[in-house]
Amino acid sequence: MVSYLLTVSGVVQGVGFRPFVYRTAVSLGLKGYVKNIGDGGVEIFLEGSEGKINEFVDKLRRESPPLAKISHIHIENVSPGNYEEFVIEKSEKREGEGLSIIPPDVGICDKCAKELFDPTNPRYLYPFIVCTDCGPRFTIIEDLPYDRENTSMREFPMCNFCKNEYEDPLNRRYHAEPVCCARCGPQYTLYTPGREKIPGDPIKNAANLIDEGYIVAVKGIGGIHLACDATEEDVVAKLRRRLGREQQPFALMARNIETVKKYAHVSKEEEEELKSYRKPIVLLTKKENCQLPKNLAPGLHTLGFMLPYAGTHLLLFHYSSSSVYVMTSANRPDMPMVIDNEKAFQELQGIADYFLLHNRRIVNRTDDSVVRFVHGRALVRRSRGFVPLPLEFPSKARYLAMGAELMNSFSMTKKGQIYPSQYMGNASKLEVVEFIKRSVEHFKKILRIDAWDAIIADKHPTYLTSKFAAEMSEALGVPLLKIQHHFAHIGSVMLEHKLQEAIGIALDGVGYGDDGAVWGGEVLILSPGEMRRYGHIDYYSLPGGDLAAYYPIRALVGLLVKSGENVIDFLEKYVPGWRNMLPHGEKEMEIILKQVGNGINTPQSSSAGRFLDAISVLLGVAYRRTYEGEPAMKLESVALRGAVRDVEVPVRQRRIYMGEIIPQIVNMKRDTAALTAHMALADAMATVAIEGAEKKGIKNVCLSGGVAYNSIITSQIEKRVKSYGLKFFVNHEIPRGDNGISAGQAYVAYLLEN
Ligand code: ZN
Ligand code: FE
């Protein structure tokens, strides 16, 4: 007989790991114990024959529960403990190797969903039903080890019925920390905006109110949603009015996958993602005959759908006659999603007609994740269901990377893993920065990180995240590293694919360049010997700087001036409504022309995003940006219906003169002009990248940045790159847009330091 002590790290707490270990050990006749330890890992003491123990370790690796993810098993020969049986011991605060992590939130599992509607089940119609395979995790956890007392469920002492299940190693709810029932667990209450309680079944009443056309704030897992009937155009219009949200698409929740398929095309991989335990919003192509109101996603060819992922959602649809709800995060523009009951009443006054709230605290605000399939899976927003899962990181350094500004996240590295935070939002808002500061502290705590080797920020001098990084570096005496935005974008792809060198094509809106200009259409070299810009879209003027993002006609003027057009004559001829595209019309245009003339308040830019925005104005597709990426996204929707024509884009000394295509496309049909502009941009960027790859002898070409969500541009670049025998890479795990910047910053820091 021999004795071994195993320390297992990875995602092993909160996923039914101990009962699995218990069952396996007992079935092999092994003695000893299993217990959770304070860093999120699991310790197993085993006594038995060498053969049985080997068999055990084998089963551990191959048969562990679906949500468990073993990253490391440390095995040590120890002196016998003389155990008479195998037991599950009480958790210990002691730290192990510090490589473990709590699991992400998991959508309700099939077994629980079935029990929810089984009249003989004690949790019949109880929305907080969970088991070890499903339910909230990250959103309710305050500290490790992952035990009930360290979650917001500690405020709900278990009744005897739940306690018995919780303590029975053979029960599906054994140590399911959020386990509860109607007698002991959280409860929903339906309120009026004046905080009056509405009697009766709160969820049933809420469903009926939604059917009647009311807007109901619904508190869920990671935050509060605004829910309403998505099949009624008037109701959707009312929600838009109240939120002051004119154009931005709304996320939808459908009763089931069949409902989604009624309105949108769903590929096999999209269906898998929709049904996965992560339950993200998936951006799908609308069907031609889609009967849903146009105002859900004006001017776009896509709809964002998700499936119910909590008991609450299943119950709402159970009581509702509508099969599609709008389920949008409840927040004022650019503010963090509301998670707190009292805040909900304050901030959603005049927006929500009723409030369906529960009394369990949300510890970690976590928005719904957003996924789109463009050359494989692309994460637009990495949040609920993904966070806090790590990715492999090639160095043991401890970095804190603060990201950029829009769609921000931060990332931490430790012991060869990188942990990107959940989606934080627009970090130009102080409320979001406060959220970031709190979340940094929380991540440090649950990851047991007490010191940094470096703190990393974007080069932008006025980003609040850069300021925060500088303050921290100063206060802690830790080196501050500044990484240029587009190198970080490419770094995020290289991290995922474990690349040491690459030619990067970074296409996005704006990022602060090494020379102080506004970059965004870049070909970059990232290799051990060389890290520099290789080529780019030739600079054009962005009169008004940031304003050009909101009024893309400003970017169009910059491009026209560059190609020597008489701006007013051109606009009169081709953009007849131009006077209405600026808040102050003709007067404003005079100022813009003066600005461009003498270079005042007119940064130079190589932005691909602003170029696409300008084409969007030129073709009459969109002339204002009411949400991030709007003009370019609408342009893509138009382009998908077009044909391609040949145009000439001059490239001189690795500079791409994109503006030159304007006179060439202006007389084409709108959709053809749109597609031609897309293809011209993709071809020109690919040409410069391929040239760079051949010159440097680099085989890998990486594409990233917000424009990498564009299917036309991504597939065209891929086609060109591969036709030259080069390898093509995009992100699948880290967002391609600015939500992925922080992870890329950490990787570039690694490349620079190694
Ligand atoms: Zn379950
Ligand atoms: Fe960016």
What are the structure tokens assigned to 462, written together?
């006025």
Q: What is the pLDDT of residues 441-467, one digit of tens each?
A: 999 998 989 999 999 999 999 999 999
pLDDT-based confidence at 748, cuts 50/70/90?
very high
The number of beta carbons lying within 10 Å of the beta carbon of residue 662 is 23
What is the predicted pLDDT for the residue at 170? 81
Ligand (nearest to CA of 130): 1
Ligand (nearest to CA of 113): 1
CATH number of the structural domain spanning residue 45: 3.30.70.100
Q: What is the pLDDT of residues 319-340, one digit of tens each?
A: 999 999 999 999 988 899 999 9
Per-position b or e across 148-178, b if 16+ CB within 10 A of its CB: bebbbbeebebeeebeebbeebebbbbbbbb
Phi, psi angle pair for 263, to nearest 5°: -110, -20
Output the CA 486–ligand 2 centroid distance in Å: 7
pLDDT-based confidence at 90, cuts 50/70/90?
confident
Same domain, 347 and 420: no
> How far is it, in rounded angstroms, from Cα 656 to Cα 685?
8
Ligand (nearest to CA of 510): 2
What does the pLDDT average to over 65-85?
90
Same domain, 194 and 312: yes
Cα-based angle 22, 26, 31 (whole degrees, multiple of 5): 90
pLDDT more than 70, % of the chain: 99
Positive or negative, the CA dihedral 412, 418, 419, 421 is positive
Same domain, 615 and 713: yes
Mean pLDDT of the chain: 95
pLDDT-based confidence at 534, cuts 50/70/90?
very high
CATH number of the structural domain spanning residue 476: 3.30.420.360
Output the CA 403–ligand 2 centroid distance in Å: 10
- The range of the structural domain enclosing residue 326 comes to 188-358
CATH number of the structural domain spanning residue 307: 3.90.870.10
Output the CA 251–ligand 2 centroid distance in Å: 23
pLDDT-based confidence at 66, cuts 50/70/90?
confident
What are the structure tokens assigned to 213, written together?
């056309």
Ligand (nearest to CA of 408): 2
In a domain, 383, yes or no: no
Output the CA 331–ligand 1 centroid distance in Å: 30
Same domain, 347 and 443: no
In a domain, 272, yes or no: yes
Same domain, 196 and 255: yes
Output the CA 213–ligand 2 centroid distance in Å: 39
Same domain, 568 and 668: yes
Output the CA 410–ligand 2 centroid distance in Å: 14
What is the predicted pLDDT for the residue at 638? 98
CATH number of the structural domain spanning residue 723: 3.30.420.40
Same domain, 70 and 216: no
In a domain, 140, yes or no: no
> Residue 75, SS3?
strand
Instruction: Please compute, for residue 752, the number of CA atoms within 13 A of its CA located in the half-sphere on the CB side.
Output: 17
What is the predicted pLDDT for the residue at 631? 97
In a domain, 134, yes or no: no
Ligand (nearest to CA of 485): 2
> Residue 586, SS3?
helix
Identify residues whose C-beta is under 5 A from ligand 2, the ion.
Answer: 508, 738
CB 522 within 8 Å of CB 533:
yes
Q: Which of 464, 483, 502 is the last residue of a domain?
A: 483
Output the CA 275–ligand 1 centroid distance in Å: 15
In a domain, 738, yes or no: no
Q: How many residues does the chain have?
A: 754
What is the predicted pLDDT for the residue at 14? 81
What is the predicted pLDDT for the residue at 356? 98
> How far is it, in rounded angstroms, from Cα 637 to Cα 563?
27
Positive or negative, the CA dihedral 11, 16, 17, 20 is negative
Output the CA 489–ligand 2 centroid distance in Å: 7
Output the CA 754–ligand 2 centroid distance in Å: 25
In a domain, 193, yes or no: yes
Q: What is the pLDDT of residues 371-416, one digit of tens each?
A: 999 999 999 999 999 999 999 999 999 999 999 999 999 999 999 9
Ligand (nearest to CA of 489): 2
Output the CA 487–ligand 2 centroid distance in Å: 10
> Residue 297, SS3?
coil
Which of 390, 384, 488 is CA-nearest to residue 443?
Answer: 390
Same domain, 307 and 437: no
Same domain, 677 and 553: yes
What does the pLDDT average to over 282-299?
97
What is the predicted pLDDT for the residue at 343? 96
* Beta-strand pair 86-88/216-219: unpaired
In a domain, 468, yes or no: yes
Q: Which residues pair with 32 in a beta bridge?
A: 46, 86
Output the CA 148–ligand 1 centroid distance in Å: 17
The number of beta carbons lying within 10 Å of the beta carbon of residue 94 is 12
Same domain, 291 and 208: yes
- Asked whether residue 524 carries a pLDDT value surpassing 70, the answer given is yes
Output the CA 128–ligand 1 centroid distance in Å: 10
What are the structure tokens assigned to 650, written together?
């001059």
What does the pLDDT average to over 714-723?
98
Output the CA 688–ligand 2 centroid distance in Å: 20
Q: pTM for the full model? A: 0.94
What is the predicted pLDDT for the residue at 15? 86
Which of 385, 366, 364 is CA-nearest to residue 445?
Answer: 364
CA distances in angstroms from 288 to 263, 265, 292, 472, listed in the order given: 9, 10, 11, 52
Q: Which of 57, 88, 119 is the last residue of a domain?
A: 88
What is the predicted pLDDT for the residue at 95? 67
Same domain, 455 and 560: no
Phi, psi angle pair for 696, to nearest 5°: -90, -5
Residue 621 DSSP one-character state: S
Ligand (nearest to CA of 65): 1
Residue 155 DSSP one-character state: G
Output the CA 655–ligand 2 centroid distance in Å: 20
What is the predicted pLDDT for the residue at 99? 63
Residue by residue, what is the 3-state secondary structure of 364-387? CCCCCCEEEECCCEEEEECCCCCC
- Asked whether residue 97 carries a pLDDT value surpassing 80, the answer given is no
In a domain, 109, yes or no: no
> How far is it, in rounded angstroms, from Cα 36 to Cα 146?
8
Ligand (nearest to CA of 705): 2
Q: In what order do the strands lie in the sheet with 480-483?
A: 391-392, 417-420, 411-414, 399-401, 454-458, 480-483
Output the CA 88–ligand 1 centroid distance in Å: 21
Q: Which conformational region is residue 654 in: left (phi greater than 0), alpha (psi within -120 to 50 degrees), or beta?
A: left
Q: Which of 468, 483, 498 is the last residue of a domain?
A: 483
CB 46 within 8 Å of CB 56:
yes
What is the domain count for the chain? Answer: 4
* Residue 644 CB-density burial (10 A; 0-12 exposed, 13-18 middle, 19+ buried): middle
What does the pLDDT average to over 476-503?
98
What are the structure tokens assigned to 518, written together?
């506004």
Identify the residue with better confidence: 143 or 424.
424
pLDDT more than 90, % of the chain: 90
Q: Which residues pair with 58 in a beta bridge?
A: none
Same domain, 577 and 476: no
Output the CA 68–ligand 2 centroid distance in Å: 33
